Amino acid sequence: MEHPLLTTYRFRVQPLLAAIYPPDKIEELLETIFAKLQPLLRNSADEDVNKWSQDDVLLITYGNSLIQEGQVPLQTLGQFLDRFLQTVITGVHILPFFPYTSDDGFAVSDYRTVRPALGDWGDIEAIAQNFKLMVDLVINHVSSEHEWFQQFKAGQAPGKAYFIALDPHTDVSQVVRPRSSPLLAPVETNSGTQYVWSTFSHDQHDVNFANPEVLLEYLDILLLYIQKGARLIRLDAIAYLWKELGTPCIHLPQTHALVRLLRELIQLIDPGMAILTETNVPNRENLSYFGSRNEAHMIYNFSLPPLLLNALIQGKSDHLKTWMMSMPPAPVGCAYLNFTASHDGIGVRPAEGLLSPAEFQQLITCMQQFGGAISLRRHPDGSESPYELNISFYDALQGTVKGKDHWQQDRFLCAQTLMMSLEGIPAFYIHSLLATPNDYEGMARTQHNRSINRRQWNMEDLEPLLADPRSIPAMVLGELSRRIKIRRRQGAFHPNATQYTLHPMNRAIFAFWRQSIPRDQSIFCIFNLSARSQQLNLSALNLVVTDPWCDLISGQCVQDIYDVLHLKPYQCVWLSNQFSDAHVDQP
């Protein structure tokens, strides 16, 4: 009996396959892919444009960011989530938890198993029962120890046809590089030395998606993750997926077609699932992965971290405001993923063209003064330039361009509150929630810059800190949790609610307006980006005279809409005309 979605499937998928592969491959691919999908298909493929609400908040963490003697880390993570974050977050992005050989998990040697040192699939599924689970599909490359690459070296099928080997004298100067290592890695094989395309490192060899068998392999992996409870799929390093000599080999049309293809396949399985593309590139290029609302459901707001960091160390809103005014609303059924910190450094390429050269250099210098490192990338002419800032986001805000001061915690809370106020879904790195400082020991041990922000907390050390209300981790986690809970109750903070940039005359103040759908709640989000007290004339906001107004964060209500709002250093205000819960959870 023919499946009711077969016609829909062919109509949606055939043109995408035809944009990627030769005509003589399409029919066989259609049949093979449908056979893989059929056991998971539902009877309707109607798009779900209401996948999220203001209630959605994500955590980003490694499976072993928290460790405890006598327990596998994934169980420790699950207990921490249940104890401290059950009412705070709704989803968890567990960074690659598979066997690997380098890059803290992103050189995967086996996609189908959980690294035994972390736990097993049962531990992953237990977390997925209580939180929306995001899983990485590390789709651009595999570890040099992966079975496919071992087959390539031995000249055995199927892996021998899964990689790209070139003459070492091939001109690859046009290829855009995110790293400074040579693109072609020399590899000893049974047929001699071969030079293999390796975008990120010589332990991470790019797979060849021009071979449709590679697509089928990754489809099997994706279906496994879905069966294990994944609701969100992060496509790692997706921009570099398709290779074509004579081009930059980034953002090629076939890459975009493959993203559309994966979106359609997931849509047919479960319209409530979503794809997130990881493309740490300049803003305009990043936005292209929304497509015509037919590619990624979510894209990272990659420009936000460097611009927000710059705004707070400079004490002025100019570039942040210019960027926000240029950002289009996310298409229907799509959303931005907002964050300030992640397992990677703070990418500075997304700030290209948004900061002046002088301020860009000042940002670099300031982060070095605060104990950070700078990672470089190589250009086609052999020159190098900053690629990312490697520093804990908490320590990145220990001062301003004037030097260190005593406002670090307030400045950091301002950054996190501003981030979670923006259009989109907020995501908090676990080390932001815990105000983790720079991990110099980890950096020295691994000799990798990114380790500075990848500390493993031993619960024997962390629990006493969280039990002490005077400790920095306890204060930051407590106050951020309080603000997140308030945020989750506000319709005006829906990921797709209206956002409008405001223009106070004071450059130290950043302000914007959010309005719910339907238009029953307005929130004016106001932030003092400086270490000095500031004033804002409320008359500039045009508050509706018939509505009462109250700050959801402090609980302070406006008595006169023509009064002056006095802002303490780094104070955040959520001025709302609906505040039945403004008295709840106040400090």
Q: Which residues are annotated as a binding site for substrate?
A: 103, 141, 234-236, 343-344, 450
Residues, the chain, total? 587
Residue 384 CB contacts under 8 Å (≥ 6 apart), including other chains: 180, 376, 377, 378
Per 3-state DSSP, the chain is made up of helix, strand and coil in percentages (nearest 5) of 35, 20, 45
Structure tokens, 257: 């077609």
Known catalytic membership, residue 585: no
C-alpha distance from residue 211 to each of 107, 161, 248, 257, 530 (Å): 21, 7, 20, 15, 54
CA distances from 458 to 73, 81, 99, 535 (A): 10, 15, 22, 44
B/e letters for 140-172, b = 16+ CB within 10 Å, e = fewer, are bbbbbbbebbebbbeeeeebbebbbbbeeeeeb
Q: What is the DSSP letter of 436?
A: -
- In sign, the C-alpha dihedral spanning 165, 168, 172, 175 is positive
Burial class from Cβ neighbours inside 10 Å (0-12, 13-18, 19+) for residue 189 reads middle
Angle of the 6-18 helix axis to the 253-269 helix axis, nearest 10:
170
550-551/572-576 β-pairing: antiparallel
What is the greatest pairwise CA distance in the chain?
81
φ/ψ of 350, rounded to 5, equals -65, -10
| Tokens of residue 293, six digits | 């609302």
Question: Active site residue: 56, 123, 236, 551, which one?
Answer: 236
Active site residues: 236
